[in-house]
Amino acid sequence: MGLKILLHLFPLLGLAHALVLARTPTPCAKLPKPHIPGAKVISITGEEKHNLTVLQQPPTLPIDVEALNICEVNVTLTHPGAFDTVLVQAWLPLDTWNERFVALGGSGWLAGPGSAGLAIPASEGYVAAFTDAGLPGGNAVSPELWALGPDGKVSTELLENFASRSVHDLAVVGKALIKAFYGCPAKYSFWDGCSTGGRQGLVEAQKYPRDFDGILASAPAIYWPEYVMAELWPQVVMYEAGYYPSRCVLDNIVNAAISACDAEDGVEDGVVAEPAKCKFDLSTVIGTSVICDGGEHVEITEQAASIVRKMWEGPTTSDGKQLWHGMPIGASLADLSASQDVNGTAAGSPFFVPDTWARYFILEDPDFNAANINTEKFISLFRKSKKRFDSIIGSANPDLSGFKKAGGKLLVWHGLSDQLIYPQDSEQYYREVQHVTGYIEDTFRLFLAPGVDHCGAGFASIAPGAVPKNPFRDLVTWVESGKRPDALEAATTPNAKTQFTRKICAYPRMAVLHEGEDPTVAESYECAL
């Protein structure tokens, strides 16, 4: 899920109203403990760091950041009765502050990006902060060290921290530190996160609508109990078939679908513009020979095509009732359909998020093998996941009336070739919010990026679409000037086979090419229904 994330490069904005700091009302080393409702501060430390260099740490920090002058503050807190120890770290610029605060979200099983994630926004004048939510181990791919308590049962207090509580604490702490250090509050407060971080942002809008003026929630992991289980469906399909297609075969089937549906929007660019409308006939690839690693010729079988069809259709009950969305056509199948060799026999290799969710949280059994479950067992786990955990980490409350009343702005973007968190989730949430909250165009904007994979990381060569260039900048502009974004600027990643720019239009509009104009430049398109 969240490992394939490059943090947004923060925009050079707002220097016209930045504060050049000659002094601070409270020295860095003497900042008072902030008051946090429902929590107790154990300790606070502050240290000035001058001419700091933070070396790139892909994927968290894609570039070196040099010459930072910051006050680094570490606040350690606990929630009475929870027996947790939570860290909130903030970097406050010593020289020039742009009067903005940004809190950064996590990825996978991490609640925050770590210190390296603060470097870019701090270099642009933001006060930047994150929290570890008190989750021991700092492991993005496994909650093994914190999911279960000494009694072998789910640690609900730590799960609550991960789900929502620590995100609100982060906002409270960050704002308190700013007021103490600079002698005045931030003019604007923002949230920025993708995947797990996107889900955290939506929780803020739902539960704590006055924490942030603007929230960027990219590829949000909403409907957590359902979507995480749906990620296991490809493994169920392969296990029941007793057949595990190679990545080469899966990639070739997906590429065939992309080729068949590519031109449906009038532009041949290697991208399926509307996956839901792609009616690719899988029978057309059965019996075809594809060249795989080492020049080996492999035939695509009817069994392989049937497996892919079920993955695209999504999980259903025995009577045909749809449980959740299927994988979007055009997205890579490699991560969720991975397999491995076990003593000479092919076996499933579940993606780490649904695998650990099933083992530690649903069944409280670390030894459970999530690769070997049939449809009946899957349905049981799916329903148990939703029933037990939706109220804790569902993160999909469609009532945003409080956020709307507070004047908050929510910008969500999602790749239509997201192979991990399906874009249909974000579409569904937008429609539900629209139904419950009413008119939301001045509060909530959704952007769906054709051919873009999870968080726009660009690791899936199968997903060559145009990635939003700087949605955080668009959010800042929307919040501070009231200019609602109707389209995001986007461009293909450097490793894409075809280079082009594109407009990503606010849902439900799409980019439509002007007749006779250059299809490789964004200016040739307009947003239309």
Beta strand residue intervals within 212-288, DSSP E: 214-218
Q: What average pLDDT does range 166-187 have in this prediction?
A: 98
H or E segment and range at residue 70: strand 65-78
Q: What is the pLDDT of residue 457?
A: 80
pLDDT the model gives residue 155: 98
Cα pseudo-dihedral 69, 471, 186, 34, rounded to 10: -80
CA distance 381 to 360: 12
Residue 24: predicted pLDDT: 59
- The one-letter amino acid code at 456 reads G
| Mean pLDDT score of the chain | 94
Q: In this structure, what token pair is assigned to residue 498?
A: 């075809």
Percent of the chain with pLDDT over 90: 89
pLDDT 10s digits, 179-209: 999 999 999 999 999 999 999 999 999 999 9
CA distance readout (Å), 270 to 277, 312, 408, 413, 521: 16, 19, 37, 20, 15
Nearest 5°: CA angle at 312, between 381 and 290?
125
Q: What is the pLDDT of residue 25?
A: 75
The whole-number average pLDDT for the span 209-215 is 98
* Cα–Cα distance for residue pair 430/93, rounded to 1 Å: 36
- CB 125, CB 15: distance < 8 Å: yes
89 contacts 179 by C-beta, under 8 angstroms: no
- Give catalytic status of residue 395 as yes or no: no
Task: Report whether pLDDT(7) > 50.
Answer: no
Residue 317: which pLDDT band, with cuts at 50, 70 and 90?
confident
Quote the pLDDT of residue 158.
98
In this prediction, residue 19 has a pLDDT band, given cuts at 50, 70 and 90, of low
List the helix and strand counts (H, then E) for the chain: 13, 20
Tens of pLDDT along 215-255? 999 999 999 999 999 999 999 999 999 999 999 999 999 99
Average pLDDT over residues 36-55: 97
Q: Is 418 a catalytic residue?
A: yes
The predicted pLDDT at position 4 comes to 40
Reply yes or no on whether the pLDDT at 8 is more than 60.
Answer: no
Average pLDDT over residues 499-515: 97
Q: What is the mean pLDDT of residues 447-454?
A: 97
Q: What percent of the chain lies above the pLDDT cut of 70? A: 95
Q: Are 479 and 272 in contact (CB under 8 A)?
A: no
**Is the pLDDT confidence value at 409 over 50?**
yes
pLDDT at position 494 over 90: no
* The one catalytic residue among 211, 265, 418, 425: 418
At residue 22, the pLDDT reads 53
User: Is 459's pLDDT higher than 90?
Assistant: no
Q: Which amino acid is at 505?
A: C
End-to-end CA distance of the chain: 31
As a whole number, mean pLDDT of residues 343-369 equals 97
Q: What pLDDT, on a 0 to 100 scale, did the predictor assign at position 295?
A: 87
Marked catalytic residue, from 79, 325, 414, 454: 454
Residue 139 phi/psi, 5-degree rounding, is -110, 120
Checking if the pLDDT of 388 tops 90, the result is: yes
Is residue 8 flagged as an active site residue? no
Angle (CA) 256-290-233 rounded to 5° is 60
What is the pTM (predicted TM-score) of this model? 0.95
- SS3 assignment for 177-227: HHHHHHCCCCCEEEEEEECHHHHHHHHHHHHCCCCCCEEEEECCCCCHHHH
Q: Which residue has the tokens 């499933």?
A: 348
Residue 464: per-residue pLDDT: 86
Rounded to the nearest 5°, which phi and psi values hold at 120?
-65, -55
Comparing 20-24, 44-48, 270-274, 402-406, the range with the smallest average pLDDT is: 20-24
pLDDT of residue 18: 67
Residue 182 Cα to chain centre, angstroms: 32
Assigned token pair, 181: 């250090």
What separation in angstroms does the CA of 1 have from each of 147, 230, 489?
18, 13, 25
**486 or 6, higher pLDDT:** 486
Q: Exactly one of 189, 195, 218, 426 is catalytic; which is it? A: 195
Does position 52 have pLDDT exceeding 70, yes or no?
Answer: yes
Instruction: Give the pLDDT confidence of 269-299 residue by residue, as tens digits.
Output: 999 999 999 999 999 999 999 999 888 999 9
